[in-house]
Chain A
């Protein structure tokens, strides 16, 4: 067990210093009334640089990233993050520019943003793009706000509900609620796709739109997408594309051509920017021309060979974030798109889909695959056989996979499949790595049959065994308390 940074305190060991002041060092009490001042300093750690560095290096040893190994976390697109992108984002001309510098002094950054808006519009088949949202969910919120503003702008006030498929990620219904919509759930049919009849029966003048992921969370392409779009549009609603799964179809089919009106992207999924242990992401939003006026301010535009910010946009929803978006993340995604080019982007999608189908085909020997047909970039397997025959559940398999050196797939999602293991290999994995994974999954199935306790007690090689999540939630301890 490693100590918390607060337990490594060694009074007087911090040696951070400022340069000598070349101004009078007046006492702050002469310029700030005492009523504003704190009496005791915050109790931050007092630690030397070398011990601080060792502390964080030690923490890094107890973490697992894509650079450590295979990370088939479904719906998260854990592809390799190219190192050149990290280099690019660290250029002083990008890191050390203030967001309020005059535009003349940041033309390179503006050019990058402008080009990025255009490239993402091209990839998605949309007419205008904002780079402002900070993450996928934030982009979703922005997109749904735009839908709301559009209906309000047409004085179409009765649309108080948003449709969401039952296979959707929780973010979709949460977003609809956050923007002030009631949620209407659309059922999936036996093939795992949107049930068109159910959709038709629920479409009404109260519906603002439908939020859809395509391919959906089962990794299946919504083959009837044109009919779905027609139902929603004919009913006066708008179609929202959750870009979580764009990696499967980029360069092959564009949301704009499928009939979507609004789309958000996850640059930290599809466009390779690293997830950072939970962020930062970036969630650009693209819209068709008739929604462009509602995009947040400012937009980046080009006028007489000069890049400018456009704030005068009276119909805009406003701002969802300070400044212009997660610029440093956008730089990385920009470098990625340039590196791949048109053919590389399409190749990435093809290889992602190939890798997923390869795993699906070979995994079914040992695992139940509820929708066993052509999938896109991911598919869902289950622990049904292991549960029924050996009492081994999905969670056990996930934990056991870590003993074999793999990050587990997404588990227990989507909710419409029991004991789900949602597997997304991404395009950046070699066949050899996929075969190793298949081998590990086969070994776990074997263990489940013959020595289930090995699986149910996993992990065995981690720094800790399974954690007590129940006590954590019943009696929460969410910060360090000084007991000394």
Chain B
């Protein structure tokens, strides 16, 4: 396939009209020594029919969650996506547009982002939200960068109940030398409050807490918030947006910056991306947030209008003084999230959150009845770990029985539940895992 539409005759005409004799002449400014004197080793171009064969073939080699019930979570969740979302996302005015720099011809995209920001504020209770980040992990890293840039200290404290990949991403971002990451061992699957509070000092820029945490359990946040605020640091929370339908909004427990993985809101699993990170904060950070922000204003005739605003924060203006370099974000994924929250609504989101929790509670009880033990006892939302001698073997057996099992920990399996799961599927899961007890 080629997507270059001009015929050879037209190309000839254009060359002459532009003052050139050949296509090669267009590259006369590229020194001979660095010109590629051979064809790229990519093979010949494919027709659409060949492409469909080849890609279908690759896709068919993957077991997918449409065919196999999936109990994996750990940061990406197999939620139902209303059919309307994909149809709407295929409106190519949305998906083939660039960032809406020209406000007058992109009011639709700008308004959708404004609506997205508003919904993220509704869920988290925070004052402001940006137009999205890459994903949950990188959003958390940027939240800590923001905290450090607005604090005298540079210590970032977090319990090891934060997602291990988030921990790793934070460590990677710390190569800047502007953050010092301190990971604090947890007890019984939740943050060790006493130890954590004892480590907070005036060099602490922020404390990070994930709610629910990586193991699915609920963390006591308020005391941490008080302690870090007393030392003029910030509380950064990473949250599961589905849980916010029933759990206290982060603003109510003292969070200063709230981030999270937004995939669960209407975005497919897609082997890990593209997802979206959401990013919200208190008013204090409005002019410091990373990324794009849409604001409401008026046009010259006084009509309501939307526009990219507070751009003096961003890299294209602030250049070497910018604390974040983000430009492209995950706008289309944020649009999917906006559509999801619109189509599901408050009652729908609550029903989903409650169902996820009830399924998890049911599974926990049935596993215990089958003689298995949960790794930790703390209250959980929709995910928990069950102790197993050989989680990898258990997963292989599940797969033989047509089930995609959970996330393998050293001595346990982390199981996640979405509204797509049923009691019958859980009974099957328990039957297989029960044999492992």
Contacts and interface: CB of A to CB of B under 8 A. Distances in A.
Contact of A226 (B31, B93, B249, B335): B31
A397 to B, nearest CB: 12
Interface string B160-180: 000101101101110111100
B345 A106 contact: no
Contact of B122 (A43, A62, A134, A164): A43
Interface string A305-328: 000000000000111111111111
B435 interface: no
A464 B3 contact: no
Contacts of B294: 478
Contacts of B123: 42, 44
Nearest to A58: B108
B40 A278 contact: no
B195 interface: no
Interface string B297-317: 111110111110111101111
Contacts, number: 687
B97 A63 contact: yes
Given A52-B84, A134-B274, A138-B326, A276 B248 contact: no
A367 interface: no
Contact of A170 (B102, B128, B318, B331): B318
A279 B347 contact: no
Contacts of B99: 275, 277-278
A24 B362 contact: yes
Contact of B135 (A6, A322, A467): A322
A94 B379 CA distance: 34
B352 interface: yes
Contacts of A465: 104, 299-301, 303
Contact of A361 (B17, B58, B300): B17
Interface residues of B, number: 205
Contacts of B322: 170, 173-174, 177-178
Contact of B34 (A101, A137, A225): A225
A161 to B, nearest CB: 11
Contact of B58 (A92, A93, A102, A325): A93
Contacts of B319: 170, 173-174, 183
A484 interface: no
Contact of A277 (B52, B98, B138, B379): B98
Contact of B97 (A106, A108, A277): A277
Interface string A248-274: 010111100111000000001000101
B324 A45 contact: no
Given A179-B176, A341-B43, A350-B26, A22 B64 contact: no
Contacts of B299: 464-468
A145 B48 CA distance: 39
Interface string B416-430: 000100111010000
Contacts of B91: 56-57, 60
21 contacts: A14-B344, A32-B379, A66-B97, A68-B92, A84-B52, A86-B95, A108-B61, A119-B42, A138-B134, A138-B138, A170-B315, A173-B319, A220-B29, A277-B97, A323-B165, A324-B272, A327-B270, A338-B54, A342-B42, A343-B44, A398-B102
Given A52-B342, A340-B3, A342-B44, 18 more contacts: A14-B347, A41-B346, A47-B342, A53-B88, A59-B94, A62-B107, A64-B97, A122-B42, A177-B320, A249-B27, A257-B36, A258-B34, A280-B333, A339-B51, A341-B42, A427-B4, A428-B3, A472-B309
